[in-house]
Each structure stands twice: as C-alpha cells, then as structure tokens.
Amino acid sequence: KMYKIFIYKYISLIIILFNFTYKKFDLIESSLLEEAIVNGNLAQESFTRSLSFTNAWLGLRDSESELIPSNINNKINLWEPANSGADNYPFMVLTAYLLDKDLYHGVLLEMLINEKKLTSRIGSLPDVYSFTKNTFENENLDLGNIIFGASEYIKDGLMPLNEFIGASPWQDRMIEILDDLYIHINDFDSLDEYFIKSSQVEEINGEMLQTLSRVYWMTGDQKYLDWAIKIADYYLLEVDFSNVEYLKLRDHGCEIVGGLSELYMTLHLLSLEKKYEYQPALYRLLDKILTFGRNQDGFFYNSINLKANQVIDNRIADTWGYTLNAFYTVWMTDQKSEYLEAVLKPFQSLNNSYRNFEWEPKKQLGPLGSQDGYADAIESGINIYNRMQDSKLKTWIDSEIQVLFGMQKNSGIIEGWHGDGNFARTALMYGLWKTQGAHLEPWQPSVKIGAISNEDKTYFVITAQDDWEGQLLFDQKRHKTILNLPEDYPRINQFPEWFTLDQDATYSIQSNKEQLIGKYEGKNLKRGVALSLSANEQCVILVKKTPNLK
C-alpha cells in the first residue's frame, strides 16, 4: 500500500537531481524539496478523490427538491438532518470551496436555500424530508428527534465548515438553528423521555457543549456560555458521571467527554472559578477512563461500565483521537502529566498492530470493514500529529490513508451512505496537511501543490503540467480570525492549522521566480501570491517569518 509514496519519491529525486530550478537553494535542503513534491502528489490525490465524491453525490440529487439522499440503498428517498445534513453535504461544500468555486457559489448554495425552505419544521429547526411525499417523512412532530438532528447538523457538519470558511450562508444557517434550539433549552432537561439509549442523550449534550463553547468565543454572547454551564453542571456536579453504568467511547458517545473538556478549557481561559468546581469530577471521569477504558496499547474500548469498572464492548474505538483530544485539552490547562502520557502511548504500537485494522466491522464490505472507521481513525491521528509530530504516527497515517483511498469506487461513491462524507472530510484534512494548509485558486487537476515545514521555514512546490494562472493562498490562524479562540486546543472534526500567516508579522520569500523574491507584510500576504506558470514549469517558494526587531 506504500508503493505510491515510493514512486513519488523516486520521481522527485530525479527531478531534484536534474532540474535547474533548485540551483537557487542549498543542496542541504534537497530532501525537504523532495518531500514537498511527494506531498504535492499525495495532496492532489486527496483533492481529486474528494471532488470525485462530490460530483458523484450531486448526481444522486432528488430532481424536485435538489437535495441528496441519506443512503442510496434503503434511504434513497429521504433527506435527514443527522445524516445527509451532518455528514455528507457539508464536506461537498468544503470540497467545492477549495476546488470548484462555481460549484460552491452555484448548485451547493442553491441546495442550502432549498433545504431551509423545505426542511425547516420548528422555526429553522430541520426535520426529515421525504422526496416521495414532497413533505416531512413523519406526520407527527417528534421534538426529540428534531433536537437530535439539529445538534448533529450543527456540530458535525456546519461547525467544521464554519471553522474553515468563516462568514458565509452556512455560518448563518448554523447560528439560526442554534438560536432556535435555545428557545427549547428547557426541553433538553427531558431528553431521556425521547430516547431509550442514554448514550444518545449524552451525544446531544456533548455536541451542544462543543458547539456552545466555540460559538461563545466567536460571538461573545453570554447566553451560549450559560447554556454550556447548565449542561456541565448536571454531568459534573449534580450526578457522578464517573460512576455511570454505560459510557460509550466510540463515536458518538465520546462527544460528551470532548464537550466537557472544551468547556473546562473555556472556563480556564476566562479565569473563572467554575473551573475548579468542575475539576474533581472531571479528573475522576478521565482517570477512570484511563484505568478501565483502554487496552494495553492505550486505545479505548467501545464502551465501559464505570460503576462496575468493567468493559462492556472490547472492540477498539476508531475515534480514539477524539477522546484523546479531551486529555490533551485538559493537559493544556493543568499540565497533568498522566494525560499527556495517555496521548503519547498509542504511537508505540500503531505500526505493529494497527495497520489494515478492522476499525468498524462490516463483513458485507470486506475484511477491513467500513471506510468510516478508517476515516475517523486517520482523522484522530492527523489532529494529534498537528500538535505532537511523532515520526511513528506520521508513518502510520501515510500508510493507512492509502487503505482508505482504496475503498473508493471508480464512480466516486465510497459505500453509498451518508458516511461517504467522512471519507471526503478526512481526505481534505490529509491533503491540507500535505500542502501545509495552502491551496491554489483556481484549482486544476494538472497543477499540484505540496509543502513541507522545517523549523522556521516552509517550502511550497507548485508543478504545472499545463499553463496556469492564479493565486497561491496561505492559511490563516483560523482559531483566532474566525472563532476568536485564545488557544487552538484540539477539537473533534476541526481542520488543523499548519503553516499560518500572522498579519502583524513580516515574511521573506525566496523563489526560483525572481518576481516573487522579497519581504512581505503578513496583512498583504494573506491576500495571496499571484502566480503564472507555463506548461511543465515548477515553482519553488520558501517562506520564512522574519524576526521582530522591536
């Protein structure tokens, strides 16, 4: 499964040895340039596959509503906010935002307009829509399922879009749904009347905690923080959540652990005493998860009984990094060494025991199970690698992404259900890692960008097979510019930041294209670098932040 990377490296080495473009750079940097070219090939495959997925699902739209179904097998006639909305459609939008702006501003925006018009049932809160009935699937209103669908749509779908794109019609949709949920804040106290499984209630509340913490920072509106505290008071003060009989650590039950850690970080950043009220109960929960919820390699079991200190389901959770996000976040606040050690432990065994691993068994799909398990497991690794750049973790991610890519059909469809969107989410996340967050506009299949950072330097290599003219756009500190977060703590389904511009800093650029060489203010560089490449031309750009002499 690593053959593609070996081929890429071989081709890259030939280019480096014989292409005059690199004469402007020291020979000692040749290995970095080689890796940047390899990364360009990997990124291009990621982007191409994501666009193929997007176009394939667009072909499955309902002819009247223009919405996509949840499942092309048994839910071909339904749009569901918790599935079509939360998992599939948003990552079609993000793919188009990066790779096809006409699609982004056209068909995909029209789908949002249609969705709001057709599926909003209580104010802006969406409900399941039937293509055959041309109205809601359920004649009777089920408030519990509407709350569930809305919480899923916001946190799993619209929030990742918002954290990457910022102000947009999708951000507006997110806020209007959240504010209409606020109208029903008291109904959250009786969610267990709607759901048999307690884990579904914990999932909703976990999603809300994550959403509310982030939107509080984004807007500064106290009502969101107060609501989050109301939820956390129940789990950390009113009941002993570290003593529950059933805790699901697999997707989606792990949402509550991440949600509590996000609010804990928020209280820490605000220097509020409430943090210390929560601390003993949160520590008890996390400590018991470490003691009874992991295997010998440091990976989490699917579910555990914290009252009896027993494992209920001993399969390994594909969302291992989602739960580790919580431990890393609390370590960031309190420097509790055991929690950092918990994050480090799985690295040691990844390449020995977790290659070609059956993360999510689905025998009808083959010996490796569902691609959804691979998507979540790889995302787990990428988000942690962004903060702890361990070579063993990198090797594992590069290996397993090829397994995931191999699960996509030639049509662009992966498995034909809403989980296909998770494939695109992870593919985009991987590709943006390999470009260090940069992208080209307009994107073309014949123009590749790869990047690599080393200490204070970042190399970008753009290779064109055909003539191309456009811009190289660098990433921003999105946690600040979009969410107003003081700290970029790890968040479930976030798109990590790699090389990011500081608008108040100065940068120097070296390049084999003379017109690019010079110094740039960050506030100007964030608008992008104009580029024009001829067929078979390769451009190398070295960006380095210059010291602040003040």
Q: What is the pLDDT of residues 77-127, one digit of tens each?
A: 999 999 999 999 999 999 999 999 999 999 999 999 999 999 999 999 999
DSSP state of 468: E
CA 332, 333, 338: angle at the middle one, nearest 5? 65
DSSP secondary structure letter of residue 416: S
Q: Which pLDDT score is estimated for 14? A: 47
Query: pLDDT-based confidence at 74, cuts 50/70/90?
Result: confident
The helix/strand/coil state of 96 is: helix
For β-strands 529-533 and 457-464, DSSP reports them as: unpaired
Q: How many CB atoms lie within 10 A of CB 335?
A: 9
DSSP SS3 for 454: strand
Residues 156-184 have pLDDT tens digits of 999 999 999 999 999 999 999 999 999 99
Q: Of 89, 94, 114, 113, which Cα lies nearest the Cα of 104?
A: 94
Percent of the chain having pLDDT more than 70?
Answer: 94
Contact (Cβ atoms closer than 8 angstroms) between residue 16 and residue 33: yes
Record the tokens describing residue 319, joined without a space.
């969302």
Beta-bridge mates of residue 499: none
User: What is the residue type of 261?
Assistant: S
Per the DSSP assignment, residues forming a β-bridge with 545 are: 507
Whether the upstream peptide bond of residue 252 has omega within 30° of 0, thus cis, is: yes
Contact between 458 and 36 (Cβ < 8 Å) = no
pLDDT of residue 16: 45
Distance of CA 393 to the CA centre of its chain: 17
User: How would residue 18 be classed by pLDDT, with cut points 50, 70 and 90?
Assistant: very low
pLDDT exceeds cutoff 70 at 268: yes
Extended beta strands in 378-481, E state: 439-441, 447-454, 457-464, 468-473, 475-476
- CB 130, CB 136: distance < 8 Å: yes
User: With contact defined as beta carbons under 8 Å apart, do 44 and 51 qualify?
Assistant: no
Is the Cα torsion angle 473, 478, 482, 484 positive or negative in sign? Answer: negative
Angle between helices 107-119 and 89-99 (to 10 degrees): 150
**Comparing C-alpha atoms, which of 186, 118, 169, 124 is closest to residue 149?**
124
Task: Match 């210390």 to its residue by tokens.
Answer: 276
What are the residues facing 129 on neighbouring strands? 79, 136
Yes or no: say if 6 and 31 are a contact pair by the CB < 8 Å rule: no
